[in-house]
Amino acid sequence: MSIEDLPSTFVAALIDIVGASDVVTAADQRASYEVDWTGRFRGVTPAVVRPADTAEVAAIVALCRREGVAIVAQGGNTGLVAGGVPMAGELIVSLRRIDAVGDVDLSARQITVGAGATLAAVRTAAAAAGLAYAVDLGARDTATIGGTIATNAGGLNLIRYGGTREQLVGVEAVLGTGETISHLGGLIKDNTGYHLPSLLCGSEGTLGIVTAARLRLVTRHDHRVTALLAFADAHAAVEAVSDLRSRLDSLESAELVLDAGVCLVCEAFDLRSPFADPHPVYVLIDVADSHDPTDDVASAVGALTTMRDAAVATDDAQRALLWRYREDHTLALNTLGKPHKLDVTLPLDRLAEFIDTVPTVVRGVAPHGQTWLFGHVGDGNIHVNISGVDPDDEAGDDAVLGYVASLGGSISAEHGIGTAKKRWLHLSRSTEEIDAMRAIKRALDPDDILNPNVLLP
Ligand code: FAD
Ligand code: MLT
Ligand code: ZN
């Protein structure tokens, strides 16, 4: 849909709600909102509307419902499943202006923030008050709290604190009906019916547009040790992580990378290899405590009989360097073209077998496809990226997701379904579950105007 397809009265009404400067229609100004982070998914929107508060969001949704105009909600546009870009010509509602970060409530250990606040802004505010926001991920400087709620983002610290849903005490949102629900009082014991924050969390913008959230904060641990551990194969690495989880309560992250991925990162960013001799598989661990955990790490790591080598860092600069071997995978892969990005969870006892076999599964249907594996091994989540195949060629995706389902895994660990994976939703959800989701969608968004092309096939 282009701006010419919308009645001029509709555009005038949008301008009445947010002001002319926040209804963006010029092609060059819309461009960055219309394409996803990988460049693989691109749509066209008639306009980007940038409300300043919840009342403006409610007015936009009511107007769109009246006029039958579909909306895509967008935060930082770092999503990786084409959920926040206008793949079917939807109007974009950008939440980035609603970015207030409230004061930290020290006694409740909570904070109220606008949906457009970045993850980094919330983490900084929590840290300044001596606490921490538990969710962290590579896109922290751009991803918004609203986006992380909509996708139930997992990230790097999930093994210790849980994902976004576990941090969500309350939420404010505008439903597809145009009505606003707001429950930001922060009571942690509140058994008064359906937990709507949990329902909205992970709903990928299909039920409501989140405008604010009340978040739980956790203890800030100032003493940190990071280590890169080397293994001969995936079986040894997976076993070591389960051993470390039982020995180290202060284990915050356990991330897997393979030699090929580390070489790619080193090449893309001109970094030195972490070890003089390469090893097939690495696990990056981050340990955080209120006392120096160096000895705890040394004793837990020392007990790993299958470990081949280790690089341990205690100062921030060295720690950051070790993290680059893991976090820079996403950027490095983008230098190879437009990757197909899959994000799956396996039962822990099938994880190593999956890592060993999946490149062959891909090659079987996409002989030119190269498979890259990395991810949050502590929680069974592996990111499968396929480079060297056409953006529209989904044979590799299909084979990988079918294989995941055959091993009892999930086709999305943390990125969500978006538009990119909805045709495979049935691999992880039964017909009855999908019908139940549709019934909820109909109740909260009766005219199907919120992200109508996302999640539900
Ligand atoms: P967007 O991309 O703008 O939107 C994502 C989805 O949420 C869309 O469906 C959109 O319609 C919906 N949405 C956005 N805002 C709202 C709102 N206010 N109300 C309702 N719906 C809304 N993800 C992880 O889970 N773990 C990781 O470790 C991780 N690491 C990443 C690293 C990099 C370098 C990149 C580029 C991405 C990474 N991601 C990760 C994916 C991404 O950052 C997350 O999905 C994040 O939650 C998206 O936030 P966003 O604000 O950018 O949302
Ligand atoms: C990550 O863990 O780095 C992200 O989820 C991003 C990606 O999958 O590339
Ligand atoms: Zn991830």
With the most atoms of ligand 1 within 8 angstroms of its CB, the residue from 137, 148, 206, 338 to mutate is 137
Pocket flag, ligand 2, residue 328 (CB < 6 Å): no
Give the per-residue SS3 of the chain: CCHHHCCHHHHHHHHHHHCHHHEECCHHHHHHHHECCCCCCECCCCCEECCCCHHHHHHHHHHHHHHCCCEEEECCCCCCCCCCCCCCCCEEEECCCCCCECCCECCCCEEEEECCCEHHHHHHHHHHCCEECCCCCCCCCCCEHHHHHHHCCCCCCHHHHCCHHHHEEEEEEEECCCCEEEECCCCCCCCCCCCHHHHHCCCCCCCEEEEEEEEECEECCCEEEEEEEEECCHHHHHHHHHHHHHHCCCEEEEEEEEHHHHHHHHHHHCCCCCCCCCCCEEEEEEEEECCCCHHHHHHHHHCCCCCCEEEEECCHHHHHHHHHHHHCHHHHHHCCCCCEEEEEECCHHHHHHHHHHHHHHHHHHCCCCEEEEEEEHHHCEEEEEEECCCCCCCHHHHHHHHHHHHCCCECECCCCCCCCCHHHHHHCCCHHHHHHHHHHHHHHCCCCCECCCCCCC
CA-nearest residue for atom 32, ligand 1, is: 138
Q: Among 127, 101, 131, which Cα is nearest to 116's?
A: 101
- In the chain, pLDDT over 70 holds for what percent of residues? 100
With the most atoms of ligand 1 within 8 angstroms of its CB, the residue from 151, 168, 172 to mutate is 151
Could you tell me which residues come within 8 angstroms of residue 223 by beta carbon, excluding any fewer than 6 positions away?
288, 289, 290, 291, 292, 293
Average pLDDT, stretch 302-319? 97
Pocket flag, ligand 1, residue 451 (CB < 6 Å): yes
CA-nearest residue for atom 6, ligand 2, is: 330
**Residue 171, pLDDT score:** 98
Given the CA of residue 376, which atom of ligand 1 is nearest to it? 28
Q: Among 147, 81, 142, 78, which Cα is nearest to 341's?
A: 81
With the most atoms of ligand 2 within 8 angstroms of its CB, the residue from 255, 329, 336, 342 to mutate is 329
CA-nearest residue for atom 2, ligand 2, is: 375
Owner of token pair 């959920």: 83
**Residue 3, pLDDT score:** 74
Q: How confident is the model at residue 8 (pLDDT cuts 50, 70, 90)?
A: confident
Pocket flag, ligand 1, residue 148 (CB < 6 Å): yes
Total residues found in the chain within this entry: 457
Report how far residue 119's alpha carbon sits from residue 447's, in angstroms, rounded to the nearest whole number. 32
Question: Is residue 1 pLDDT above 80, yes or no?
Answer: no
**Residue 202, pLDDT score:** 98
Q: How confident is the model at residue 317 (pLDDT cuts 50, 70, 90)?
A: very high
Pocket flag, ligand 2, residue 343 (CB < 6 Å): yes
Ligand 2 center to 262 CA (angstroms) = 14
User: What rounded mean pLDDT belongs to the chain?
Assistant: 97
Using one digit for the tens of pLDDT, what is the confidence trace for 336-375?
999 999 999 999 999 999 999 999 999 999 999 999 999 9
Given the CA of residue 98, which atom of ligand 1 is nearest to it? 18
Ligand 1 center to 193 CA (angstroms) = 28
Q: How confident is the model at residue 391 (pLDDT cuts 50, 70, 90)?
A: very high
Ligand 2 center to 252 CA (angstroms) = 17
Q: How confident is the model at residue 6 (pLDDT cuts 50, 70, 90)?
A: confident
CA-nearest residue for atom 44, ligand 1, is: 79
Using one digit for the tens of pLDDT, what is the confidence trace for 402-446?
999 999 999 999 999 999 999 999 999 999 999 999 999 999 999
Pocket flag, ligand 1, residue 343 (CB < 6 Å): no
Residue 46 and residue 3 in contact, taking contact as beta carbons nearer than 8 Å:
yes
Report how far residue 219's alpha carbon sits from residue 127's, in angstroms, rounded to the nearest whole number. 9
Owner of token pair 């890259």: 372
Task: Give the number of other Cβ atoms within 10 Å of residue 1's Cβ.
Answer: 16
Using one digit for the tens of pLDDT, what is the confidence trace for 212-227?
999 999 999 999 999 9
CA-nearest residue for atom 36, ligand 1, is: 78
Ligand 1 center to 74 CA (angstroms) = 9
Given the CA of residue 138, which atom of ligand 2 is nearest to it? 3
**Residue 387, pLDDT score:** 98
Q: Residue 175, Cα to own-chain centre: how many angstroms?
A: 22
Report how far residue 304's alpha carbon sits from residue 281's, in angstroms, rounded to the nearest whole number. 15
Question: Is residue 22 pLDDT above 80, yes or no?
Answer: yes
CA-nearest residue for atom 9, ligand 2, is: 330
Structure tokens, 247: 């020995």
Report how far residue 243's alpha carbon sits from residue 330's, in angstroms, rounded to the nearest whole number. 28
Pocket flag, ligand 1, residue 119 (CB < 6 Å): no
| Nearest ligand, CA 153 | 1
Q: Among 89, 41, 81, 37, which Cα is nearest to 418's?
A: 81
Ligand 3 center to 154 CA (angstroms) = 7
Give, to the nearest 10 degrees, the angle between helix 294-302 and helix 234-247: 130
Ligand 2 center to 301 CA (angstroms) = 26
Ligand 3 center to 60 CA (angstroms) = 33
Pocket flag, ligand 2, residue 138 (CB < 6 Å): yes
Using one digit for the tens of pLDDT, what is the confidence trace for 236-284?
999 999 999 999 999 999 999 999 999 999 999 999 999 999 999 999 9
Using one digit for the tens of pLDDT, what is the confidence trace for 112-146?
999 999 999 999 999 999 999 999 999 999 999 99
